[in-house]
Structure 1
């Protein structure tokens, strides 16, 4: 009998420990994921040669009522070492407008928020045809004050009009 109790304890305790470490993702819970990056050449988009992900960037999630434009929900987080961030939202935001937006770069050499890449709209309700509880926000970018010297070659490669940069 004692062996049976010990065997049950050895089987149940690890299962409880694993369950306790997992975040509770309920029926109404949604997870918003995205990335932050630095645009070295001020292209306004990411490339393997002209951008890198920024760890420690501050990102904010804000939901507003569509009629009154009052903030109904707000949360802030920082990107991890790979530039990825995540928000866990435990309630449905039915008919609200929710945006993820850049707040501050952790990279002193890439401090400026890229115009047009500073926020991303996300839908945080379950009545939209999206089966997954995970919502992916567009990657959002910062840029350097002055483009690097090798950017002129990349401009030719990507055929970006210099007036756009």
Structure 2
């Protein structure tokens, strides 16, 4: 009797795990999540004085790996916490998808860092991921002038930049 109960419980656990895996099949959708912040120190990484940016515009663009033809685009804006979430429809196995910062609503923090304005995301269920949620690396804009608080932050981090 105990063996039968154990077998039933094991089977139920396996079925529950399979049902809750969140895997995405062709024709379904993916959720891409990320955030946008302001870098007041122009360090190109987040610090304790970085500020999340509400209403920043981000765009997801998928391109064919071979032809580089744009196959899918979608834009959204960040919420009050500087985070965004967008639904990406379909399977994009043969494509490279990037989320790019497009526009900051803040006049004091609107410069995108060249070469760091994008975050690549995988929008395919054929790469071993068991969830349809994809997290993009944080994106940011920089202030034109370094904030006065940055020297204290750098000292706290024991960080000496090459140039400032």
Under TM normalisation by the shorter chain, which class is it?
0.7 to 0.9
CA distance in 2, matches of 1:62, 1:32: 12
CA distance in 1, matches of 2:82, 2:102: 14
Determine if the alignment matches structure 1 residue 161 to structure 2 residue 154. Answer: no
Paired residues of 2:47 and 2:153 also in contact (CA < 8 A): no
Determine if the alignment matches structure 1 residue 62 to structure 2 residue 61. Answer: yes
Partner of 1:137 in structure 2? 136
Aligned length: 139
Partner of 2:31 in structure 1? 31
CA distance in 1, matches of 2:52, 2:113: 14
Determine if the alignment matches structure 1 residue 150 to structure 2 residue 125. Answer: no
Instruction: Assess, with a 3 A threshold, how the Cα gap between structure 1 residues 116 and 154 changes in structure 2: closer, same or farther.
Output: farther
How much is the aligned-residue C-alpha RMSD, in angstroms?
A: 1.4
Q: After superposition, what is the alpha-carbon deviation per residue over 1:31-81, rounded to whole angstroms, capped at 9, x for unaligned? A: 000000001111111122x20100000000000001111100111111011
3-state SS, counterpart of residue 162 of structure 1: coil
TM-score (norm 2): 0.80
CA positional deviation for 1:151: 1.1
CA distance in 2, matches of 1:89, 1:44: 28
The 4+ residue runs of structure 1 with deviation greater than 2 A are 114-117, 159-165
Q: After superposition, what is the alpha-carbon deviation per residue over 1:84-134, rounded to whole angstroms, capped at 9, x for unaligned? A: 111101201111000000001011111111234311000000001110110
Q: After superposition, what is the alpha-carbon deviation per residue over 1:122-161, rounded to whole angstroms, capped at 9, x for unaligned? A: 0000001110110000010111000111211222222333
Which consecutive unaligned segments of at least 5 residues does structure 1 have?
A: 1-25
Paired residues of 2:111 and 2:142 also in contact (CA < 8 A): yes
Which shows bigger deviation, 146-155 or 134-143?
146-155
Paired residues of 1:43 and 1:160 also in contact (CA < 8 A): no
3-state SS, counterpart of residue 141 of structure 2: strand
Partner of 1:77 in structure 2? 76
Partner of 1:18 in structure 2? none
Which consecutive unaligned segments of at least 5 residues does structure 2 have?
A: 1-23
